[in-house]
A and B are shown apart, each in its own frame.
Chain A
Amino acid sequence: NAGVMQNPRHLVRRRGQEARLRCSPMKGHSHVYWYRQLPEEGLKFMVYLQKENIIDESGMPKERFSAEFPKEGPSILRIQQVVRGDSAAYFCASSPGSGPESSYEQYFGPGTRLTVT
């Protein structure tokens, strides 16, 4: 039973380019969460999605960032016109439900490390 998969593991982009980060949840999980971890800082929630729906994007920057979780295929976190401050590790997690257990039944992927040059 494969865990949460993220690709690419490492991504280098020049300032102004677009970054696309992919996340495939665990089998049977229909809830996906994206987090960002800046160097030497803790984890910050960005967005929570279910299939074809954005449930909570309160942690997402208002500009340049978007996320989707289509009916078929992985969830995508898209960053347009990247800047150096976007350099971070981006983690995706999935859970089987959104009830109280979602606080601790989130399984994380290995992350994508984005470097903006």
Chain B
Amino acid sequence: DAKTTQPTSMDCAEGRAANLPCNHSTISGNEYVYWYRQIHSQGPQYIIHGLKNNETNEMASLIITEDRKSSTLILPHATLRDTAVYYCSAKYSGAGSYQLTFGKGTKLSVIP
């Protein structure tokens, strides 16, 4: 799995968009970018994943640069409940890819 780098922490005003960056400069062609989050004292929660194209679901949008060396998770209208640690992971999606591994992630604080 490719190494990922994220800022340690970020603040975002409630109601504004939260843009969380992730660098994965060594990502290979068959590795997907995954995002999970962990709200305090809870288990991780899947958010979104993508390969090349930008992706959007009911929770967030994922923007992947053309060279795939970095990506940004966008929470369009952050709420206080979005305060959590956000993990970016680059990994192969296929047989045996169930081993989720996260680093320290970005601690997002949504401020009223």
Residues of chain A touching chain B, judged by Cβ–Cβ distance below 8 Å, are 4, 31, 33, 35, 40-45, 48, 56, 58-59, 91, 93, 95, 98-100, 102-106, 108-111
Say whether chain B's binding surface is mostly helix, strand, loop, or mixed: loop
B88 to chain A, nearest CB (A): 11
Enumerate chain B residues within 8 angstroms of A100, measured Cβ to Cβ. 93-95, 97
Tell me if B34 and A108 are in contact (CB < 8 A).
no
Residues of chain B touching chain A, judged by Cβ–Cβ distance below 8 Å, are 32, 34, 41-46, 49, 87, 91, 93-105
| Nearest 8 A/B pairs, CB to CB | A108-B43, A42-B102, A45-B99, A102-B98, A43-B102, A42-B103, A103-B97, A100-B93
Known: A43-B101, A48-B98, A99-B95. A104 touches B43 (CB 8 A): no
Tell me if A103 and B101 are in contact (CB < 8 A).
no
From the candidates B41, B43, B94, B97, name the one contacting A4 in the complex (CB within 8 A). B43
